[in-house]
A and B are shown apart, each in its own frame.
Chain A
Amino acid sequence: MNIAAKRGWCFLISAILLIPGIVFLIIAPGLNPGIDFTGGSTMTVKFADPTEQQAIRTSLESLNVSDATVQNFGENTFFIRTKELSESEKDDLLSKLENDVSPNGYDVLSFDIVSPLVAQETIVAAFWALFAASIGIFFYVWWAFRNIPKPFRYGTAAIIALLHDAGVIIGIFAILGVVADVEVNTMFLIALLTVIGYSVNDTIVVFDRVRENIISAPNRSLEANVNLSIGETIGRSINTSLTLLLTLMALMLFGGPTLKSFLLVLIIGVLVGTYSSIAVATQIVVAWEKQDFPKIFSKITRRRLPASE
């Protein structure tokens, strides 16, 4: 199995995975931020009388809460997102809904308020957390691979794989945000950070084999050592991701609706994380060794040169 020789294909697949997400992220509206990132109120309300999204929307509009979004959670339970509500505004809204759509009452299953102040901090903190985690992991990998040549490259490759995985997930949620109104919230952030942890863990297992093979056969080419290592770890990679996916699927099927998008991130993350260890992290190390990127760069510039003449 000579994956290293097909690294061009690997990078192409990653590009195909990343580009649609990036496109959706850049064109409006991109990610659909939840109140954790924008501020506002959300509530999950179970109505006693059967009702519909539209009826709730109409009722809210007559109360001048027109920018509200309403989602159906099933079992006559609705998720209503509005601007930041005060205690009295919340009471008004609920009694209005009771009047209009559910005279037999309702249960507020959950209620959240986040002020824009907190929301902004969350975004900043999330960015810094991602940054700090990357730096920490980079230095650890650099240190852990100090016994083989150019350990710096392994640290960098691990971080690129990590950003790759985060990028794929953010991209998928940018698409889901546009097509299915899926929101990103604090739980999404936790899931993303978990995926990063898993991705690095998985990358390190493959790197560990590369490290071992380089130490035992320093004269073999890096390409050959990488191929050997991937071949030796592929069984473990598949089995580990399979067991994780089994657990996550069980959670997805039997767990509550609150965790659905959280689990979706983890499932995508396990798949992408496993893929990126083999096809991104290790291939970057090979490409670096083979000076692929300067070659591609010079090819592009050489092609351009005649045109400019």
Chain B
Amino acid sequence: MRRYVVTILVITALIVISGLTLGFQNIRLGGFERGSDNPLGLQLGLDLQGGSHLVYQTSLEDALGERIQPTEDQMDSLRRIIDRRVNETGLGEPVIQLLGEDRLLVQLPGVSDPARAKTIIGETARLEFKHRQIDVSVPVELDSSSITNAYIGEFPETVMDEEGEVVEISENPLADLPTSSTEMEQIVATSTDDTLVTDSLNEAIETEAETDSSESSNFQEISFLVIELDDEAAETFDLVIRRMIESTLAYASGLKSQYTVNRLQVSISGGNEVRTVELPLQLVARVPDTNMFAMALITGIGQPIAPSIDKTNQLFGPDIEFELVEIIGAIDEDVGLTGDDLSRAYAGTHQTTGAPIVNIEFNAQGAKRFGELTRDLLNTDDRLAIFLDEEELIAPGVNQVITGGSAYIEGRDFTPDRVRDISQLLEAGRLPIPIELIQERDVDAILGADSLKKSVLAGAIGLLLVIIFMILYYRIPGLIAGITLILYASFLITVFKLIPVTLTLSGVSAAILSVGMAVDANILIFERMKDELRSGRTLLTSINVGFNRAWPAIRDGNVSTLITCVILFWFADTLGASIVQGFAATLAIGVLISMFSAITISRTFLRLVATLAIARRTDWFVPVGKKFLPKNDG
């Protein structure tokens, strides 16, 4: 009897564990985390929650067009690169794994039209080498007819409008000029987006309006170039300012290294004098609600073009002219050199200095283009800008023409870690081997949810029908079988959640089939029990003998099913057919649990019932229609 107590305790413990596992949507015990937002916290396959299943095959060929098997390293780096690319798209939680020796599986749950992901995955090269031209001068195209008004001197308080009316200008957008370059840098540094730049300028203007103008900046005496433009030209000039804002922000947020900020070059000429200043963003502004633009004629470090307005007028005389040139800090020109042309990138140290360097090697075509690029770059301030996924990685200068195709990059701030990172990123910019899509399965999320709902409903109805049948036919043992089946189903789901097994449509079918196998085990036992009861044994003996006699059939039947499962699983693994794999795994787990539930749970419950008063009614323990029972209790 002690043995039963232990068994009952074990079963109770399992029921409690199962209840707790299924009761909580998400489980977290130390490092052990399970659960999801799906019903019962189960993991659902793509066919039940919707999503895309993509299988890629590597297509590596030798010079003769013969297929070459990729190496393990190549496959691993392929997986890492695609993992990185897919993750960047932000498409849900992708699963990326290798299948066999030359295939890659990409699963995108919840994505039913993976066009974007497919484009990104399939791109062979996302690494680009560009010619960065530094300080490109572009004259601001303002013809004289578009300039309706121009003036150098104090900031005007009034202006004439088109009808010749005098209009007061209340605000000088440049009234609160920063007095030093540090102050200017502060404004830029605290600006995280363009609203803030404008805000800080506006704030400065407002503060200026409140305080007495005589107390304002040291630059009160400074000359301003004020121009009024027609609508079209104002728009053009606005774009110039916008580009300055963008480049200033990019610099301030540290997005770009060695970045040269856009500036506006203003040349003032008159008499025999020509003076040129380069104005940063902070010294150029549009007067709010007008087509007027003001430029403070000081250099970035706070030096006026002339110490005062009087001096300015003296210097340039009455016939002052001006010229505006936009200086674009950096233009990245596409030269057709990409990751496709790179054959290798690896970290190393400089032969003589021992400093950490990044070695790069190009293929024949790449070497040619790289040679041309280095020739163009040599002896200029221009840079070789390397972009990965349109983000700047590094932009070194060039100090010699390199025609051999192999070069190295050195940098003052290079550490062994940094050069390793850079070389890995360079390698990641190209796929180590070409790939092609060989299989795609997309399932709409609505269809998936519908399939899930229907399968669950069908499973529940099926289980209920079986339990009703068992009770009607086998009576009390049938009732116990019914209880066992419900426990079986919940144990199965618990195991699915804990492992975790990803539930697919074929997995649901396998689970339902394994319910059938569990019922079969019970039926085998009850039929044997019935035979024993008929031959006149007591209920308890019949239960024990029935179980022992049924065991070989249950064992052999289930083992042969397990053999089929193992073979299926093995084939599915080499095939990459995850639906087959899910089916085999689910069926195997189901068969194992059904063996346990039929043998241990059913038997223990039956024995318990056999000790109760109800056990006197042996006719309740045999199937209907079996009349000839000898009375063993009388």
- Whether chains A and B associate is yes
8 Å CB contacts to A: which residues of B434-463?
A: 436-444, 446-447, 450-451, 454-455, 457-459, 461-463
- Which 7 pairs, one residue from A and one from B, show the smallest C-beta to C-beta distance? A247-B462, A250-B462, A201-B557, A208-B553, A254-B458, A115-B438, A113-B440
Identity of the chain B residue whose Cβ is nearest the Cβ of A262 in the assembled complex? B509
**B238: CB under 8 A from chain A?**
no
**B552: CB under 8 A from chain A?**
yes
- Is A110 within 8 A of B516, CB to CB? no
- Is A240 within 8 A of B523, CB to CB? yes
Chain A 127-167 near chain B by CB (<8 Å), digits 1 or 0: 01100110011001100100000000000000000000000
**B423: CB under 8 A from chain A?**
no
In the bound assembly, the distance between CA atoms of A247 and B567 in angstroms comes to 26
In the bound assembly, the distance between CA atoms of A107 and B113 in angstroms comes to 11
- Is B575 within 8 A of A125, CB to CB? yes
Chain A 228-263 near chain B by CB (<8 Å), digits 1 or 0: 000011011001101110111111011110110011
Q: How far is the CB of B434 from chain A (nearest CB, A)?
A: 15
**B580: CB under 8 A from chain A?**
yes
- Is B580 within 8 A of A186, CB to CB? yes
Q: How far is the CB of B157 from chain A (nearest CB, A)?
A: 61
On whether A197 and B512 interact (CB within 8 A), knowing A115-B438, A189-B580, A240-B519, the answer reads no
Q: Which residues of A come within 8 Å of B, CB atoms? A: 44, 87, 107-115, 117-118, 121-122, 125, 128-129, 132-133, 136-137, 140-141, 144, 186-187, 189-190, 193-194, 196-198, 200-202, 204-205, 207-209, 211-212, 232-233, 235-236, 239-240, 242-244, 246-251, 253-256, 258-259, 262-263, 266
In the bound assembly, the distance between CA atoms of A286 and B402 in angstroms comes to 86
Chain B 489-524 near chain A by CB (<8 Å), digits 1 or 0: 000000000000000011001101101110110011
Chain B 357-394 near chain A by CB (<8 Å), digits 1 or 0: 00000000000000000000000000000000000000
**B219: CB under 8 A from chain A?**
no
Q: How far is the CB of B159 from chain A (nearest CB, A)?
A: 56
**Cβ contacts A to B, 6 pairs, < 8 Å:** A113-B439, A190-B583, A194-B583, A236-B524, A251-B455, A256-B454
B527 CB contacts on chain A under 8 angstroms: 233, 235-236, 239
Q: A186-B577, A240-B516 are in contact. List 19 more A-B contacts (CB 8 A).
A: A113-B440, A121-B575, A122-B575, A133-B568, A136-B564, A137-B564, A144-B556, A144-B559, A186-B579, A187-B579, A193-B568, A197-B560, A201-B557, A201-B561, A232-B531, A251-B462, A253-B458, A254-B457, A256-B451
Chain B contributes a number of interface residues (CB within 8 A of A) equal to 73
Identity of the chain B residue whose Cβ is nearest the Cβ of A144 in the assembled complex? B556
Count A-B pairs with CB separation below 8 Å.
Answer: 208
A212 CB contacts on chain B under 8 angstroms: 549, 552
Q: How far is the CB of A116 from chain B (nearest CB, A)?
A: 9
Interface of A, helix, strand, loop or mixed by DSSP: helix
**B589: CB under 8 A from chain A?**
no
In the bound assembly, the distance between CA atoms of A122 and B462 in angstroms comes to 32
B524 CB contacts on chain A under 8 angstroms: 205, 236, 240
Centre residue among B446, B574, B575 by max chain A CB count within 10 A: B575
Centre residue among B510, B523, B524, B549 by max chain A CB count within 10 A: B523
On whether A243 and B440 interact (CB within 8 A), knowing A108-B112, A132-B567, the answer reads no
Q: How far is the CB of B405 from chain A (nearest CB, A)?
A: 35
B519 CB contacts on chain A under 8 angstroms: 240, 243-244
Chain B 557-594 near chain A by CB (<8 Å), digits 1 or 0: 11111011111101100110101100100010000000
Identity of the chain A residue whose Cβ is nearest the Cβ of B54 in the assembled complex? A113
* Stretch with Cβ within 8 A of A (4 or more), from B286-294, B331-339, B466-474: B466-474
Q: Which residues of B come within 8 Å of A, CB atoms? A: 47, 55, 57, 112-113, 115, 118, 436-444, 446-447, 450-451, 454-455, 457-459, 461-463, 465-466, 469-470, 473, 505-506, 509-510, 512-513, 515-517, 519-520, 523-524, 527, 531, 549, 552-553, 556-561, 563-568, 570-571, 574-575, 577, 579-580, 583, 587, 623
Interface of B, helix, strand, loop or mixed by DSSP: helix
A211 CB contacts on chain B under 8 angstroms: 552
- Is B577 within 8 A of A133, CB to CB? no
- Is B451 within 8 A of A258, CB to CB? yes
- Is B466 within 8 A of A247, CB to CB? yes
- Is A110 within 8 A of B442, CB to CB? yes
On whether A109 and B446 interact (CB within 8 A), knowing A87-B115, A190-B580, the answer reads yes
Instruction: Choose from B57, B517, B580 the contact partner of A201 (Cβ within 8 Å).
Output: B517
Centre residue among B443, B444, B519, B560 by max chain A CB count within 10 A: B560
- Is B561 within 8 A of A129, CB to CB? no
A186 CB contacts on chain B under 8 angstroms: 577, 579-580
- Is A112 within 8 A of B450, CB to CB? no
In the bound assembly, the distance between CA atoms of A239 and B473 in angstroms comes to 9
In the bound assembly, the distance between CA atoms of A259 and B510 in angstroms comes to 12
A136 CB contacts on chain B under 8 angstroms: 563-564, 566-567
- Is A112 within 8 A of B447, CB to CB? no
On whether A118 and B473 interact (CB within 8 A), knowing A111-B440, A250-B465, A255-B455, the answer reads no
In the bound assembly, the distance between CA atoms of A262 and B577 in angstroms comes to 16
Q: How far is the CB of A129 from chain B (nearest CB, A)?
A: 4
In the bound assembly, the distance between CA atoms of A196 and B443 in angstroms comes to 29
- Is B470 within 8 A of A243, CB to CB? yes
- Is A190 within 8 A of B579, CB to CB? yes
In the bound assembly, the distance between CA atoms of A20 and B512 in angstroms comes to 32
Identity of the chain B residue whose Cβ is nearest the Cβ of A190 in the assembled complex? B583
In the bound assembly, the distance between CA atoms of A154 and B442 in angstroms comes to 45
Q: How far is the CB of B126 from chain A (nearest CB, A)?
A: 18
